[in-house]
Amino acid sequence: MSSTREILEAAKLAKREICCLEDGKINEALLAMAGALTDRMGEILAANARDVEAAKGIISEVMIDRLTLTEKRIEAMATGIREIAALPSPLGHTLRELTRPNGLNIKRVSVPFGVIAVIYESRPNVTSDAAALALKSGNVCVLRGGKEAYRSAYAIVSALRAGLNSVGITEDAVQLISDTTRESANELMRATGYVDLLIPRGGKGLIRACVENATVPCLETGTGICHIYVDKAADIDLALAIIENAKTSRPSVCNAAEVCLVHRDIAGEFLPKLYKRLVTDREENPVELRCDARVREIIGGVPLGENDFDTEFLDYILAVGVVNSLQDAVTHVLEHSTMHSEAIITRDVRAAEYFTKNTDSAAVYVNASTRFTDGGEFGLGCEMGISTQKMHARGPVGIEELTTYKYIISGNGQIR
């Protein structure tokens, strides 16, 4: 087994080959990788079974479910790779071109980053998604998964590498780090000159550790404290449907809503309906409403805890507050949001404009659910995560966001 340093050295060498592949060749490799995944289904399932067996009693049921592979899930991983192959290449586009008065021609051209390192946790499909997204955008990837999923990741990466090998591309384009201790994560965070982009995918702790400690460029993803503001000019039925969807359709994901703010002028009418819709009408998984003092005056409910406006519940829990105005709603969002996704429900075009202009998040919705912040839903294809930083990329990180650009300047002897 190679050390992390050896893997990084191999990645640095491999990027010289991978950066210059034609899109046709990349797609040939991706299809071979997808094929190898299904060809080796038996081995992958066996490795995964050992991971699942070892993890029982150690990680939660939800995490066990995320870890578990089935034939169907492996097929879906292969399909995901084929879909990525079908996307147009993000490389080699002239993003801008000008010819200066002195005759210099200046082109801004999209190019790969080089080596992308991904630190993630227990979902095995991240392994194939990340490898495929990186390759489609001309990058080498170095994967460092969680301990619980190591055998699965190893089997998946072996299949992907066999696919690369079968079309004559260096296997080092996709590498898995065997050290799953904190040590290797720290080494990746500080691998200046080796890692051109680091992407943490996982919980808050992992992401904070990367952002705090990385000296290589790091793309912050993930945490979503998403707000839905019900304006005084809201269509109430539409608001109820959107909030129920944003909160309950999949509470464990980052684009689920965690906070609902209601304009005081509409609170008396709206809040009892919200209570009915999210609590009394729901036989399965009623939502726990954590309510500020003014909400409690109207519908009672569990008192809002001290940190409830700053908590990503990822559960059937919603913090609810009353605000005096649109401006106060925006102020609340600016103070508590993680810059992921927010929504306003209103029929007032000016209120919608004020909200979208003055909030500061990656995705701002008018009259729609925050659950749409997703590469597929945005029409970008599969993604590497949702960026919550402002540098480089915001929102869904697809293949285009895994590229950078260079300037190519052509002259005939220009000097300055």
Quick one: 120 or 355, whose CB is closer to a copy of itself? 355
Quick one: 161 or 247, whose CB is closer to a copy of itself? 247
Shortest separation between residue 373's beta carbon and a copy of itself, angstroms: 8
The CA–CA distances, whole Å, from 324 to 234, 274, 275, 306, 328 equal: 15, 18, 20, 20, 6
Quick one: 126 or 195, whose CB is closer to a copy of itself? 195
CA-closest candidate to residue 45, choices 155, 121, 162, 147: 155
Give Dmax (Cα) for the chain: 77
Cβ-based burial of 85 (10 A; exposed 0-12, middle 13-18, buried ≥19): buried
Q: Which residue has the tokens 């260096």?
A: 170
Quick one: 180 or 404, whose CB is closer to a copy of itself? 404
Shortest separation between residue 163's beta carbon and a copy of itself, angstroms: 25
DSSP 8-state assignment for residue 287: P
Quick one: 68 or 245, whose CB is closer to a copy of itself? 245
Token pair for 159: 């299949």
8 Å CB contact between 286 and 316: yes
Q: Look at residue 59 and give its three-state secondary structure.
A: coil
Shortest separation between residue 414's beta carbon and a copy of itself, angstroms: 4
106: β partners: 98, 409
Quick one: 72 or 416, whose CB is closer to a copy of itself? 416
Shortest separation between residue 378's beta carbon and a copy of itself, angstroms: 6
Quick one: 41 or 363, whose CB is closer to a copy of itself? 363
Q: Which residue has the tokens 């079309």?
A: 167
Quick one: 203 or 217, whose CB is closer to a copy of itself? 217
Quick one: 297 or 353, whose CB is closer to a copy of itself? 353
Shortest separation between residue 356's beta carbon and a copy of itself, angstroms: 5
Shortest separation between residue 103's beta carbon and a copy of itself, angstroms: 9
Shortest separation between residue 241's beta carbon and a copy of itself, angstroms: 6
Q: How many angstroms separate the CA atoms of 378 and 362, rounded?
A: 13
Cβ-based burial of 226 (10 A; exposed 0-12, middle 13-18, buried ≥19): buried
Shortest separation between residue 42's beta carbon and a copy of itself, angstroms: 35
Q: How many angstroms separate the CA atoms of 151 and 361, rounded?
A: 38
Shortest separation between residue 299's beta carbon and a copy of itself, angstroms: 23
221: β partners: 387
Shortest separation between residue 377's beta carbon and a copy of itself, angstroms: 7
Quick one: 221 or 369, whose CB is closer to a copy of itself? 369
Shortest separation between residue 269's beta carbon and a copy of itself, angstroms: 18
Please list the alpha-helical segments (H only) found in 167-321. Answer: 182-189, 204-213, 236-248, 264-275, 293-299
- 278 alpha-carbon distance from chain centroid: 27
Helix axes 349-358, 326-336, angle to 10 degrees: 20
List residues binding a copy of itself (CB under 8 A): 16, 19-20, 98, 100, 104, 106, 113-114, 196-197, 211-212, 215, 217, 219, 235, 238, 241-242, 244-246, 249, 334, 352, 356-358, 360-369, 371-373, 377-379, 389-392, 394-395, 404-416
Q: How many angstroms separate the CA atoms of 62 and 36, rounded?
A: 28
CA-closest candidate to residue 290, choices 252, 247, 234: 247
Quick one: 157 or 326, whose CB is closer to a copy of itself? 326
8 Å CB contact between 334 and 321: no
DSSP 8-state assignment for residue 276: I
Q: How many angstroms separate the CA atoms of 411 and 416, rounded?
A: 12
Q: How many angstroms separate the CA atoms of 377 and 407, rounded?
A: 32
